[in-house]
Structure 1
Amino acid sequence: MELLKNHVAGQWVAGQGEGTALHDPVTGEALVAVSSAGLDLGAAFAFAREQGGAALRALSYGERAALLTRVGEVLTANRDAYYEIATRNSGTVKSDSAVDIDGAIYTLGQYARWGAKLGEARLLLDGEPVALAKDNAFASQHVMTPTRGVALFINAFNFPAWGLWEKAAPALLSGVPVIVKPATATAWLTQRMVADVVAAGILPPGALSVVCGSSAGLLDQLQGEDVLSFTGSADTAAIIRSHPAVVKHSVRVNIEADSLNSALLLPVAEGSEALSLFAREVAREMTVKSGQKCTAIRRAFVPRALYTAAAELIAAQLRKTVVGNPRDESVRMGALVSLEQKRHVEEGLAVLQSEAVLLHDGRLQALVGADAGSACVAPVLLGCEQPVMATRVHDTEVFGPMATLMPYDDLAQAQALVRRGAGSLACSLYGDDPAALAACATELADLHGRVHVVTPAVAKLHTGHGNVMPQSLHGGPGRAGGGEELGGLRALNFYHRRSALQAAPEVLAALGPATQL
C-alpha cells in the first residue's frame, strides 16, 4: 500500500512508520496510507515564511491572480483523477463529488478574476485619507499589508478539495504561503491536488505545503504573524484557541465549527408553492453528500397546521433517494466517509430519538451494491411536536442524512426556536410575502452568517440553502465558531494587517501602486 508523501520545505518527504490507512467507506478496501511522523515542522514553517512568503509578496495582486488562474487550469486538467479518488475514498456519487471538486475550481477561478482587477497594486487602501491638521497638511491613511507569516489550515473530512482552495485562493492572492493539514480520513484528494500543482511548477517553492497524518506539533510552530484557519468540531476548536502558542503570540484564528442550521417556512396556504420549495430543499440538504455538510439543514420549522403536510412532502422526496455504492448509476446517495462516522451518526440519532419520533426511516429500504457492513446510512426524518419543551433537537448536531421537523404556533415562537441553535452558518426562509420575509431575515441575521430567502419567484434561480458561494460570507457567530470566510475580496482581510499611516500628503501620495479594497 502506497504511503503518501508530505510536501514541506519545498521537498516531498515520507513520514516515518507504516502510517494510517485510508479506506473505501463502501467496500472497506485499504487504499493508501499517510504519516507525518518525523517531519521537521520547524524547518517547514521557516521555509514557507522566508522563501514562499517573500516570493509571493514580490508579486503584485494581479500577478498572484494570474498564478491562481494557472492553478485552476491544472486542477481542471486532472478532474477525472479527482473524481475517481472521491468515489473510492469519500464514497460520494458524481454529483456530490462535483460539489467539492468543481466547487473548488469555481471558487479558485472567482478569486483569480477578482484579483486580476486589483492589477499592479502592491498595497490595499482602506478608505480615503482623513485630515489630522488644518489644510490637510497632516493626514491619516489606513492601509492593509499582507501578514508575513504562514496560513495554517486544519481542515475537515467532508470537503478535501473545496476546503483547501476556498481558503488557499484568498491566502495566495494576499501573498501569504499556505500549509494545509487535511483530515486524515480523506487526505488523499487534498494531497493529490497539491502534488499536481507542485509538479506544474506554478507557485514559488514554499508557497504551498501539505502535511498528511497527525497534526501533532503543528500548532507549536505558530508565531505572531501566522494565521490559523480551522474547520471541525467545537470541542477541538476550544483546544486550538487555548493552545499555548496561539495564546502567547496572539495568533489570528478563524473557526468554523458545529452548526444547527435551520429552514423556516413562514405562514402560507396548504398546497402553496412555497411549501413545496421548502420540502424539496429540506430533502435535498439531507441527502447531498449524505448530509455531511456543515451548512446542511438540521432543524426544519413549519406552522403547526402544515406539519403533517410538510412531513408527507419531505418523505415523498426522500423515498426517491436510492442509497448505496456510488459506482452504481442508479444510486443517488453514497456512503458516509467512514465506519467511525457511521457510528457517530447512529449514536446521535439515538440522542435525538429521546425527544423525537421517526417520520421517515429510509433504513427500511435496501441498499444498492452495498451491505450493512458498509458506511452507508439512508436518510431519516424525525419529528418533534413540542419543540419549545425539547432540548436535544436544538443542541445535538448529527453530521449525516438526518433532520428534525418541528411545528410552531406563531412567528415569534418560530424565531425564538431558530435562535436556540445559538449561532449558525445558514438559515433559509420560505414564503410568499416579501415584507414578512424581509422582516424575519432582519430579525435572525445577527445569529447567522448567511440568511437564504426563497420565494416562488426564485424557485429556479436560488443557489440552495447549503451551497457556499464565494461571493457571499461563509461563517457564523456563537456555536458556529465566530469566523468569517469568503464574501468576495472581504476574505483578504484575514490575511492582511490594517495599519494607520500618519504623514504629510506628499508622503502618502508616494506609497506606490495601491488600490482601494
Structure 2
Amino acid sequence: MLELDDSSSTANDQADQYAAAASVKTLSSLVYGQAYTAQQDLRMVYHAISGAAVYQVGSQGINTQAIVDYAKQKGSVIASWTFHQRANALKQAAQYLLERKEEYYELAKATGCTRKDAWIDIEGGIGTLFAYSSLVRRELSDETALVEDAWIPLSQHGTFGAKHILSPKAGVAVHINAFNFPIWGMLEKIAPSLLAGVPCIVKPATEGAELTHAVVKAIHESGFLPEGALQLICGQTYDLFNHLNPQDTVTFTGSASTGQKLRAHPHLNAYSIPFTMEADSVNSAILTEQANDETINLFVREVFREMTTKSGQKCTAIRRAFVPAALLDCVQTRLIQKLEKVTVGDPSDDGVTMGALASVKQKHDVAAKVEQLSQDAEIVYGSHLRQDIKIQSPHPEKAAFYPPTVLVCRQPSQAENIHRIEAFGPVVTLMPYENLTELADLVARGEGSLVASIVRDSDENIESVVAKIAPWHGRVHILDAESAKESTGHGSPLPYLVHGGPGRAGGGEELGGLRAVKHYMQRTAIQGSPNAMTQVGHSWTAGAQVFEDRVHPFKKSFDELRVGERLLTARRTVTEADIVNFGCLSGDHFYAHMDKIAAAESLFGERVAHGYFIVSAAAGLFVDAAAGPVIANYGMDNLRFVEPVKIGDTIQVELTCKQKTPKQQRDPEQKPHGVVVWDIKVKNQRGDLVATYDILTLVERGA
C-alpha cells in the first residue's frame, strides 16, 4: 500500500505518484547475507525540494528471527576480536566511506539540506568512527575484554580479592534511528557497539533511509567487518523485539511518544532488555543578566545558527531562548535582522543559505506545532502564514520548505505549550525572566533536555546558574568571547561527551567516550586469588606467581617476556649528598629536602629525599644500560609516594612484567614493537613500600 506524505494532493497528483511508484527503486534490507526486497506494503519517499518520488521502503515478509540468528551466529565473531582489531577495522571502514563521500552528498540533496548541513551528517558521522577507533586504540589494551579496575583485596593476607571485568554481551544491539541524521545517527551508535564486540541491527527512519542504505552497503563491500556484524532493515521491524533476549540491547532516537511505546514493549520488560532512548526535547539557550553588547550578539548568533542549520531539524536545536526582561526587545530585533538575510530555497541554487525540511509531512507537522505554540506566544517573524518571505524555488508548494519562525512569550510562567511542545524545524520562542529563581523554574519546566547553552560575559560568575540547571540536562555549553573562537557550538554532540538527557529527553546516554563502549558490555565482579585474576585478566596482579631469570628482563624481546616475570634489584642507600645534588640539579629546594630546621618541625621530623629522586634512583637500579630490545620509556602511570625516604634509608626495587600490548606498525620500515607495562614497587630496608607506579616501555618484537 502506498503511503502519501502530502494529504493535500489532488486526485491527479495521486495518480502521478502511483505511476511514479512503478519506476522508482525499492530500498532493500541488507540482512542474513542477502538483499531482501519487499513487494507489498511499500511507502514512497519524495524529494524534499522537487516533490518527485525518490524511492520506496518496505519490509513485509522479512524473517526477523533469521536476522537475529544471523547476527549471533555469524556476527558474533567480532566478540573474539581484540579491541585493537575492532578499532582498526572501524578505522579502515571509515577511510573507505570517506573516499566515497561525494556519493553521499549527492544522495543528501533529496533530503533538502545544504552541503554544509550534509557535512555534519556525512563527514561528522565518519569522523565519529575515526574518533572512536583512535580512542579505543589509545585507551584500551589489546584484549577481548576490559579489566575495569585494580585488585580489590578482600582478605587479610591478600590471597582473595576481586576485579570488575567487562565482557562483550552475547547478543545483538538493535539501533532505531531518527530521520534527521541518517548517517551520523547510525555511525555514532554502531561505533561503540562494534568496538564492544557486539553485532548490530540498524533500522533507519524512512526519510533518509537511502543514505543509511548506501553507507551500510559500502561497509559490507569494504569487507573490513565480519559477516553478520552489521545488518540493515529498511521498513518496519515487525516482531523483531519478540526474538530478543536478555543479552540484547535496544537504542532509540526519535519522538518521545514513539519511544515510550517501544520502551513499554512487553517482551522488553519481561526479559529486562536494556532500552536507551534519546527523545525530542525543548533545549534552551540562556542569556545571562550581566550581558553586554558583545554577549548579546553571541547569543543571537548561536540561536540563529541553531535555527538555520539543518533547517532546525537537530535534536539539540534551541527551542526556548531565555533573555533578561530588559533585553528582550533588543534580542528580538537583532535576531529578526539576521533572519531577514536568510534565503530559503533549493540548496543547489546560488545564494540559498537554508534548505527544506526532510518531507512535506514534516512541514505540516511543524506548522501544526507552531499553531499550538502560538496559543502561548505571539508569532513575530516567519511561520507558514507569512507571505513576504520568498522561497527561491520554482514550485515551493510541492517542497518541504518552512521559513525561520520566531515567537515571543511575555508571560512564560503562565504558559504550558512552549515548555512541552517541540516544533522540529527552524522555530524558537523568546521569553523574558526577572531573576535566577524564575529562570531555574522556567528551564525545569522543560522536564529534561539534551543541552542548554549559557551565554555570558567572560568575567561573569555563572556557577549558581549551572548548579540550578545541570540536573535537567545531559550537557551544558558555556559560551563567551573567549570560548567563541573555537567552540563547537550548542548543537554539536561530540564523541567524547555524553549525548542524552533526563526526563523528556529520554533518560539515556549515548557517546561519552568509553562510556558508550561499556554500555554494550556486561560488568562482572570476578573474585578469586591473585593467580586467578592474572589468568582471567591477562594482567599480573600483586600477589600472583612471579618468574625470575638470570637474564635481565630488559634484554628480552617482547615475545620472550612473560607476564609475571620479575627482577629484584640491588640495594642503594640514600645519602645527604644524594638529596643535595638532586636539589641542585633539579632546582627543587623545597624545605622538606633542604632545610634541616624547617624539616624537623614538619610532619616528617627530619629531611627526606625528593620523591622524584626516588623514582630516578629506582630507574638506576632496574634499567639495563646496554643496547637491547627496549626502545624507549613510553610513560608512567599511577605514581604514589607511600612513605618518606630519609637520609640513611636503603631502597630496593621489584620490577614485574604486568601486561603486554602489541602496537600496530604505522610505517612498514619501523621495527615491530609493543608496549610492556611494568609494575614497580620501591621498598625500604624494613620492607615497607615507599613508592609504587607503572612504567611503560616500547619493546621490539618479532616480525
* Partner amino acid, structure 2, of 1:475: G
2:311–2:425 contact (8 Å) kept in structure 1:
yes
Q: Which residue number corresponds to residue 377 of structure 1?
A: 402
Please give the alpha-carbon distance, in whole angstroms, between the structure 2 residues aligned to 1:376 and 1:30: 17
Aligned length: 513
Q: Percent identity?
A: 40
CA distance in 1, matches of 2:145, 2:135: 15
The letter for the 1-side match of 2:283 is N
1:213 and 2:235 are equivalent in the alignment: yes
2:125 aligns with: 104
Distance between the aligned counterparts of 2:122 and 2:316, measured in 1?
Answer: 17
What's 1:281 paired with?
Answer: 302
Q: What corresponds to 1:511 in structure 2?
A: 536
Paired letter, 1:13: Y
**Distance in 1 of aligned mates of 2:423 and 2:267:** 32
Deviation string 1:26-68 (CA, Å, 9 cap, x unpaired) is 1111111122111111011011012101x10111000100000
1:30 to 31, 34, 53: 53
Task: Give the corresponding residue for 1:497.
Answer: 522
Q: 2:182 aligns with which of 139, 160, 163?
A: 160
Which residue does 2:78 correspond to in 1?
A: 56
1:389 aligns with 2:411: no
Indicate yes or no: 2:307 matched with 1:311: no
Cα deviation for residue 269 of structure 1 reads 4.6
Give the distance between the partners of 2:308 and 2:239, measured in 1 at CA.
36
Q: Could you tell me how far apart the structure 2 residues matched to 1:415 and 1:273 are?
A: 24
How far did 1:268 drift? Answer: 2.3
1:437-516 correspondence runs (5 A): 437-513=462-538
1:43 aligns with 2:66: yes
Distance 1:329 1:469 in 2: 31
Letter in 2 for 1:350: E
CA distance in 1, matches of 2:184, 2:429: 28
d(CA) in 1 for partners of 2:115, 2:226? 33
Distance 1:317 1:147 in 2: 50
CA contact (8 A) 1:227 1:253 kept: yes
Instruction: Pick one of 251, 262, 271 that aligns with 1:229.
Output: 251
**Shift of residue 359, structure 1, vs aligned partner:** 2.2
- Residue 374 (structure 2) aligned to one of 349, 353, 356: 353
Query: How far apart in 2 are the matches of 1:436 and 1:311?
Result: 25
Match of 1:429 among 447, 451, 454: 454
Letter in 2 for 1:62: H
Aligned 1:67-216 pairs, distance under 5 A? 67-88=89-110, 90-117=111-138, 118-216=140-238
| Separation in structure 2 between the aligned mates of residue 467 and residue 316 of structure 1, nearest angstrom | 25
Q: Distance in 2 between matches of 1:298 and 1:209?
A: 35
Give the Cα separation in 2 of the matches to 1:290 and 1:269. Answer: 28
The CA deviation at 1:87 is 0.7
Which residue of structure 1 aligns with residue 390 of structure 2? 366
User: Aligned with 1:68: secondary structure?
Assistant: helix
Q: Residues 123 and 513 of structure 1 are in contact (CA less than 8 Å); yes or no, is this contact kept in structure 2?
A: no
* Cα distance in 1 between the residues matched to 2:522 and 2:289: 46
Say whether the 8 Å CA contact 2:165–2:525 is kept in structure 1. Answer: yes
- Secondary structure of the residue aligned to 1:81 is helix
**For 1:53-85, what per-residue CA distance to the aligned partner results, in whole angstroms no more than 9, with x for missing partners?**
1x1011100010000011101110111110111
Q: Which has the larger radius of gyration?
A: 2
Which residue of the other structure, out of 404, 408, 430, is the alignment partner of 2:429? Answer: 404
After superposition, residues 236-275 of structure 1 pair within 5 angstroms as 236-270=258-292, 272-275=293-296
Superposition TM-score, scaled by structure 1 size: 0.97
- Separation in structure 1 between the aligned mates of residue 290 and residue 95 of structure 2, nearest angstrom: 47
2:163 counterpart SS class:
strand
| Runs of 4 or more consecutive aligned structure 1 residues displaced over 4 Å after TM superposition | none
Whole-angstrom distance in 2 between the partners of 1:433 and 1:95:
30
Which residue in 1 is equivalent to 2:39?
Answer: 16
- Tell me if the contact between 2:291 and 2:457 (Cα under 8 Å) persists in the aligned partners: no
- Alpha-carbon distance in 1 for matches of 2:354, 2:486: 24
Please state how far the C-alpha of 1:99 moved relative to its aligned partner.
Answer: 0.9
d(CA) in 1 for partners of 2:380 and 2:474? Answer: 30
Q: Distance in 2 between matches of 1:151 and 1:277?
A: 40
The answer to whether the 8 Å contact 2:458/2:482 transfers is no
Matched, 1:295 2:320: no
Tell me the CA shift for residue 175 of structure 1.
0.5
SS at match of 2:164: strand
Give 1:263 deviation, angstroms.
0.3
Secondary structure (helix, strand or coil) at the match of 1:143 reads strand
Q: Structure 1 residue 435: deviation in Å?
A: 5.5
Structure-2 residue corresponding to 1:342: 363
Alpha carbons 1:120, 1:513 under 8 Å: kept: no
Q: Which amino acid aligns with 1:254?
A: T
How far off is 1:513 after superposition? Answer: 3.7
- Alpha-carbon contact 1:3-1:18 (below 8 Å) kept: no
Q: Distance in 1 between matches of 2:458 and 2:323?
A: 15
- TM superposition score normalised by structure 2: 0.72
Over the aligned positions, Cα root-mean-square deviation in angstroms equals 1.4
Contact 1:470 1:488 in 2 (8 A): yes
Q: Which deviates more, 16-25 or 94-103?
A: 16-25
State whether residues 475 and 482 of structure 1, in contact with CA within 8 Å, keep that contact through their aligned partners in structure 2: yes
Q: State the alpha-carbon separation in 2 of the partners of residues 418 and 18 from structure 1.
A: 43
Structure 2 residue matching 1:344: 3-state secondary structure? helix
Q: Distance in 1 between matches of 2:244 and 2:462?
A: 45
Whichever residue aligns with residue 429 of structure 1, its letter is: I
Q: CA deviation at 1:145?
A: 0.7
In structure 2, distance between residues paired with 1:111 and 1:459: 26
Change (3 A) 1:434 1:269: closer
Change in Cα spacing, 1:5 to 1:453, as seen in structure 2 (3 Å) is same
8 Å contact kept, 1:268–1:275 = no
- Looking at structure 2, the residues matched to 507 and 329 of structure 1 have their Cα atoms a distance apart, in angstroms, of 68
CA–CA separation in structure 1 for the residues paired with 2:106 and 2:239: 32
| Cα distance between partner residues in 1 of 2:70 and 2:290 | 60
Give the residue type in structure 2 aligned to 1:420. Answer: R
SS, match of residue 320 in structure 2: strand
Is residue 458–residue 481 contact of structure 2 (8 Å, CA) maintained in 1? no
Distance in 1 (alpha carbons) for counterparts of 2:29 and 2:106: 21
SS in 1 for 2:157: helix
Asked if the contact 2:290–2:460 (Cα under 8 Å) also holds between the matched residues in 1, the reply is: no
Check conservation: 1:383, 1:404, Cα contact below 8 A: yes
**Separation in 2, partners of 1:254, 1:469:** 18
8 Å CA contact 2:125–2:183 kept in 1: the answer is: yes
- C-alpha distance in structure 2 between counterparts of 1:435 and 1:477, whole Å: 27
Answer whether contact 1:82 1:101 (CA < 8 A) is retained. Answer: yes
Larger helix share, 1 or 2:
1
Deviates more, 1:137-146 or 1:435-444: 435-444
SS in 1 for 2:322: strand
Q: Quick one: higher RCO (CA 8 Å, sep 6+), 1 or 2?
A: 1
